[in-house]
Structure 1
Amino acid sequence: MSSLAHDPSTLHALVDMGSNGIRFSITDLSAPTARTTPTLYQSRAGISLYDAQYPASSHGERQPIDAATIGAVVAAFRGFKRACADFCVPEANVTILATEATRTAVNGAEFMGAIKGAVGWEVQLLAKGEEGRVGAMGVASSLPGVKGLVMDLGGGSTQLSWLVKDSEGVRMPEAGAASLPYGAAALTRRLGEAEGRGSEAVRELEREVREAVRGAYEGLGVPEGLTRAAEAEGGFTLYLSGGGFRGWGYVLMSRHRVKPYPIPVINGFKVSRKDFLRTDVVQQAAAAALEADDGSDDIFRISDRRAGQVPAVAFLVGALSQALPQVKEVRFCQGGVREGYLFSNLPPEIQAQHPLVVATQPFDIRGTSSRMTDLLLSAFPPGSTSGAQDDYKATFDRDHLHAFANLMYYHSSHSKDLQATSALRSTTSGALAGVHGILHESRALLGLLLCARWGGSVPPSDEAFKRNLEQIVESGWTLWWINYVGAVAGLVAEVYPAGFVAEDEARLRVQAAWDRDEKGRPALALKLSFGDGVSVATLGKLIKGVEKVGKKKRWIGGKDGSGHRVDVSVECGGLGA
């Protein structure tokens, strides 16, 4: 994509100089998609500043960053400076952030001076607490809402904090986070040294890490309200970021019950406490990947370096299971220093936006999808569903339906052979694949909704992929409502072929209510009222399609499965001008 397509004043270049690698990126923070911090350019220099300071010959003694490493870093920065010039990024919008490895380097000043001398950019050192705060904001950027404990596992250190992100904003400890010297690379080194001294040394390290984590948690001052909510819900949600934890997540993804797991991005991936603590399974998988010479046991997105750090991460996970309070589930996040720094500088009203709505807004060409969303919402019977087995209102909320409405017409230009299958993959390898901040459940839901909007029939090559997405959704009730909403959307799109709902035009009104069939079972009564200019005769097949979703043979799991009877009534010419 050419930089000429973007306003240079909204472009921000950022360098995240961590312990295991240096990440370069250019981000466009223009409206309306700033909330999702869209990346225009990214690259990574696989230079480990931690390894440079602890070479094998050092016997565990920190060494200055050597001249060869400094030269490689300077060369990488010069390349990025050229990229910034190509994209026309203003010098004032370039930020370099350095963390643990640079902060504690014996010759840190010399190292940072070499960078400035080569490219003219100052390096900002993040203090321990600030590094944790920025990391927590990276997690906040990664999901629509956050409520729980947060850990960021870098190469040299680990940050622990609590975080709440909701409609009231983002809240965390004033100090940002507790910083512990147990990064993936650092712990790998220390664990290797302990194993060399014997089992008692390993147990001593276990006690040290466990007590350090417990003490860090106690010092965070977790709000009582957050603790009470966790107790009521069966435990905290633990949000994890950083390369070491993401590596752990990718191994768990490769061993997931859904095979193959259909969503490749780690951000938004969720596992239960039980699955997270499968340390033996994860270590066996990583070991097999390291030993295989033919690549047969390779794990997606797991390098040999990450696989080699898995035992140390397993060691840390074991300590977490004993030192932290009850954890119900674990959510993996892609957001790190880059996302956290950029997100921190966005206005609160932009931080509060739902990433799925923001990401799909550019596809609302006529700017009327909000009214289309109202029409789709009216296809659901009124009343609360909280606590019900079929809690459809918790899933099909306004944000998800708004995103769906934004994309309802996106695949109109595709041939009929491609519409349903392209729509199905739009959230994993299509238009929304690279969007930051979306849950896996939302990717699955929206992909299936869009597929259903185009009839739901996919070629044999995509049938297994569709079934795997359905397993991410899990609930049979949700799958039935997806088919229902898709059928309604297909009808609505035929009535409004350009997606335009004029303020003074009345073509269709939708009203839904619960009724009872002849045996007293719940039935969904859907009333469709059409305006004078609508030829209802041409819509018969689509109207029948909505009713067919309610046939028992179309229920999820068959006649005794999940579904509702749908009775459609039609009123013509009753809306007026």
Structure 2
Amino acid sequence: MSLRGPPASSLYGLVDMGSNGIRFSISDLSPATARSLPTVFQDREGISLYDAQYSTGVKGPIPQDTIDAVVVSLLKFKVACTDFGVPPTNIRVLATEATRTAENSEDYRRQIKDATGWEIDLLPKEIEGRVGALGVASSFASVDGLVMDLGGGSTQITWMIAKDGKVQTSHKGSFSFPYGAAAMSRQLAEIDAQAHSGMVQTELKEKMKQQFQQAYKDLELPDSLQQQAKHGGLTLYLSGGGFRGWGYLLMSQHKVSPYPIPIINGFHVQKRDFQQTAEISTVAAEESVFRISKRRAAQVPAVAFLVNVLVEALPMIQRVRFCQGGVREGFLFDTLDPATKALDPLQAATAQYGTSSAPHIATLLLASLPGENDLDRFIPTTFTPPFLRAVADMMYLHSPLPKESRSLCALQAPLTGALASAHGISHSDRALLALVLARRWNVDLAPPNHSAQQRLRAILSPQEVFWANYLGALALLIGNVYPAGRVVDTAKPRLVFSASWAKGLGKKGLQDGVRLTVKCRKEEAMTTPAAMNDCVKEVEAVGKKKNRVGGRDHGYGVPVEVDILRVLD
């Protein structure tokens, strides 16, 4: 079965009929932004095809009332597709394990075809695993580790290396086990009803442990991942509703509370936090948690059981990343050409907001960061060229707003605003971009929002926060010199930056820091001392001792000295 094919237009309508629910979406895969899988419409019906087949206590056919409910939801989506102008050739209905293994699968699909005119793409097991893996690849700028998908009826495991649009997985595909969240819940309930249930649970645990260990061997990890496993440990990428629920529970108990980014994709924890099964199970049983339904909460003991087994079976796992990507995202990602897949998802998400001079402004920002030299200083690796381009793209988005609103709206743009639905952006990138953009407008936030800003800083390193402050202050300077975000004459720009690490800075001349040279036009109204001095002071203030990140005496910071060179040409 081929899942590829260029769309007749950029709009795609997609239905993902999973075990635990049905997801509907319309995505605009315009070339410039397609890598972030922008969604213009989405909906979900909480129809569990897995639970429906066990409604009598033993597995049976999908009940007719469930089929009727599915048909109604599909007809509603058909109207939505018409309203948005999605070409009929660009609408696909994907079905996975729950449909594939249903006793009345053929009749179920026939009724849907008769009612909607849509054929269901029933994904074979191996195709489902491949598309699900692509969903994980779509969820990050790069992937390098083990991948697991936890559905309602089963869980799959494989390895993946995804970078620059190229995706590698095990030539054996993924190994599937009947340990989905709903299936495990049912199995554990049956065990609890037996005599000697503790002994039976122990036997099940040992069986699962051996199966995961054998799968790890059989997947034949490449040398690069085997080296990581021995030195520093592997990263585990998790998808599927059961794992996402576990991620939201961990988020609710994060040391930074309340956690400032309400998006599961890109959330990450260390192994020690991931395996807090007793604490997380208690939270799910006793508290109401964001994004945790009663049904999902009821499955938490089963997911906790699986997590315990997994950690014991594969001790080389040290880091865990949660992703939103599944069959829907994998299918859409597979339609993209290699060049689009290779784009950074953050840069793709912000491209639509940039001015025509965004590339030039991004180059300015890059030139403001000192390179490597013999001083013991460094720039965090998170400040990549795609990140700087994203800053340049977003710098002018909030210009039309009242002054008092700009910083707040800029802070929220990567979290709950313009970029909230963008797919594949890490939490560190979201937090950094929020801090840079808020600082760019240099307006103090009201107290409740100041708390949000502090929590964003708390999930980053002090070094990252310092350089976010530095870039934000430079964005303020650039924004004042180029108020429309347009560099009209690139041959004679108003600003040219060069930066280097330098000794002898600070009040006593005893510190290493950044020397930023700003070359500007002498006979230019936007670069006179009166026009620039306040902004230059803001840049230098970032490096003052009182503004160190983490406190004056023990916090992180380096002096910043700005030299202005005014020239005639």
Q: TM-score, normalised by structure 1?
A: 0.93
What is the aligned-residue RMSD (CA, Å)? Answer: 1.7
Query: C-alpha distance in 2, partners of 1:249/1:169?
Result: 27
> Residue 207 of structure 2 corresponds to which residue in structure 1?
208
Where does structure 2 lack aligned partners over 5 or more consecutive residues? 1-6
Query: Tell me, what secondary structure is at the counterpart of 1:394?
Result: coil
Query: Tell me, what secondary structure is at the counterpart of 2:9?
Result: helix
**Which of residues 314, 338, 343 is equivalent to 2:333?**
343
Asked if 1 retains the 8 angstrom alpha-carbon contact of 2:31 and 2:340, the reply is no
Query: C-alpha distance in 2, partners of 1:452/1:16?
Result: 41
Query: C-alpha distance in 2, partners of 1:508/1:84?
Result: 48
Query: Tell me, what secondary structure is at the counterpart of 1:258?
Result: coil
* Pair 1:481-2:471 in alignment: no
Query: C-alpha distance in 2, partners of 1:82/1:509?
Result: 53
* Pair 1:540-2:533 in alignment: yes
Where does structure 1 lack aligned partners over 5 or more consecutive residues? 1-6, 289-296
> Residue 123 of structure 1 corresponds to which residue in structure 2?
120
> Residue 309 of structure 1 corresponds to which residue in structure 2?
299
Asked if 1 retains the 8 angstrom alpha-carbon contact of 2:155 and 2:179, the reply is yes
Deviations 1:155-199 (A, max 9, x none): 011111111111261111234311111111111101111121122
Equivalenced residues, count: 553
User: What amino acid is the match of 2:370?
Assistant: P
Deviations 1:328-364 (A, max 9, x none): 1100000111001110121111111011111111111
**Which of residues 455, 458, 476 is equivalent to 1:490?**
476
* Pair 1:285-2:250 in alignment: no
> Residue 359 of structure 2 corresponds to which residue in structure 1?
370
Q: Show the 5 A alignment for 1:106-505.
A: 106-167=103-164, 169-197=166-194, 198-232=197-231, 234-288=232-286, 297-366=287-356, 368-383=357-372, 391-455=378-442, 457-473=444-460, 475-501=461-487, 502-505=489-492
Q: What's the offset of the Cα at 1:231? A: 2.6
Deviations 1:473-521 (A, max 9, x none): 1x22222222211111111111111111232222111121222225542
> Residue 3 of structure 1 corresponds to which residue in structure 2?
none
Of 318-327 and 110-119, deviating more is: 318-327
User: What amino acid is the match of 1:278?
Assistant: Q
Deviations 1:515-540 (A, max 9, x none): 22255420321211111332233211
Of 91-100 and 261-270, deviating more is: 91-100
> Residue 77 of structure 1 corresponds to which residue in structure 2?
74
Q: What's the offset of the Cα at 1:393? A: 4.5
Asked if 2 retains the 8 angstrom alpha-carbon contact of 1:150 and 1:239, the reply is yes
Query: C-alpha distance in 2, partners of 1:542/1:195?
Result: 67
User: What amino acid is the match of 1:546?
Assistant: V
**Which of residues 83, 86, 101 is equivalent to 1:86?**
83
Query: C-alpha distance in 2, partners of 1:231/1:408?
Result: 43
Query: C-alpha distance in 1, partners of 2:496/2:190?
Result: 71
Q: What's the offset of the Cα at 1:240? A: 0.3
Of 82-91 and 311-320, deviating more is: 82-91
Query: C-alpha distance in 2, partners of 1:447/1:330?
Result: 24
Q: What's the offset of the Cα at 1:286? A: 0.8
> Residue 573 of structure 1 corresponds to which residue in structure 2?
567
Query: C-alpha distance in 2, partners of 1:77/1:167?
Result: 36
Asked if 2 retains the 8 angstrom alpha-carbon contact of 1:8 and 1:88, the reply is no
Asked if 2 retains the 8 angstrom alpha-carbon contact of 1:385 and 1:393, the reply is no
User: What amino acid is the match of 1:249?
Assistant: G
Query: C-alpha distance in 2, partners of 1:23/1:551?
Result: 51
**Which of residues 544, 551, 562 is equivalent to 1:551?**
544
User: What amino acid is the match of 1:471?
Assistant: A
User: What amino acid is the match of 1:562?
Assistant: Y
Query: Tell me, what secondary structure is at the counterpart of 1:62?
Result: coil
Query: Tell me, what secondary structure is at the counterpart of 2:381?
Result: helix
Of 97-106 and 168-177, deviating more is: 168-177
> Residue 40 of structure 1 corresponds to which residue in structure 2?
40
Query: C-alpha distance in 2, partners of 1:309/1:8?
Result: 41
Query: C-alpha distance in 2, partners of 1:8/1:259?
Result: 46
Change (3 A) 1:161 1:559: same
Asked if 1 retains the 8 angstrom alpha-carbon contact of 2:473 and 2:538, the reply is yes
Query: C-alpha distance in 2, partners of 1:469/1:114?
Result: 50
> Residue 294 of structure 1 corresponds to which residue in structure 2?
none
User: What amino acid is the match of 2:251?
Assistant: M
User: What amino acid is the match of 1:49?
Assistant: L
> Residue 51 of structure 2 corresponds to which residue in structure 1?
51
Query: Tell me, what secondary structure is at the counterpart of 2:144?
Result: strand
Asked if 2 retains the 8 angstrom alpha-carbon contact of 1:132 and 1:161, the reply is no
User: What amino acid is the match of 1:42?
Assistant: Q
> Residue 26 of structure 2 corresponds to which residue in structure 1?
26
Asked if 1 retains the 8 angstrom alpha-carbon contact of 2:150 and 2:239, the reply is yes
Query: C-alpha distance in 1, partners of 2:443/2:229?
Result: 39
Asked if 2 retains the 8 angstrom alpha-carbon contact of 1:191 and 1:312, the reply is yes
Query: C-alpha distance in 2, partners of 1:76/1:146?
Result: 35
User: What amino acid is the match of 2:237?
Assistant: Y
Change (3 A) 1:279 1:393: closer
> Residue 17 of structure 2 corresponds to which residue in structure 1?
17
> Residue 4 of structure 1 corresponds to which residue in structure 2?
none
Q: What's the offset of the Cα at 1:39? A: 1.2
Q: Show the 5 A alignment for 1:522-537.
A: 522-534=512-524, 535-537=528-530
Amino-acid identity (%): 47
Asked if 1 retains the 8 angstrom alpha-carbon contact of 2:150 and 2:181, the reply is yes
User: What amino acid is the match of 2:30?
Assistant: S
Query: C-alpha distance in 1, partners of 2:387/2:330?
Result: 24
Query: Tell me, what secondary structure is at the counterpart of 2:136?
Result: helix
Query: C-alpha distance in 2, partners of 1:195/1:21?
Result: 27
Asked if 1 retains the 8 angstrom alpha-carbon contact of 2:380 and 2:464, the reply is no
Q: What's the offset of the Cα at 1:559? A: 4.1
Q: What's the offset of the Cα at 1:456? A: 5.4
Query: C-alpha distance in 2, partners of 1:175/1:30?
Result: 34
Deviations 1:394-419 (A, max 9, x none): 12111111100111111111111111
User: What amino acid is the match of 1:37?
Assistant: L
Deviations 1:249-268 (A, max 9, x none): 00000011001111001100
Q: What's the offset of the Cα at 1:446? A: 0.3
Query: C-alpha distance in 1, partners of 2:353/2:523?
Result: 27
Query: C-alpha distance in 1, partners of 2:299/2:374?
Result: 46
Query: C-alpha distance in 2, partners of 1:132/1:78?
Result: 28
Asked if 2 retains the 8 angstrom alpha-carbon contact of 1:53 and 1:63, the reply is yes
Of 523-532 and 446-455, deviating more is: 523-532
Deviations 1:106-128 (A, max 9, x none): 11111111111111111112122
Asked if 2 retains the 8 angstrom alpha-carbon contact of 1:507 and 1:533, the reply is no
> Residue 4 of structure 2 corresponds to which residue in structure 1?
none
Q: What's the offset of the Cα at 1:209? A: 1.8
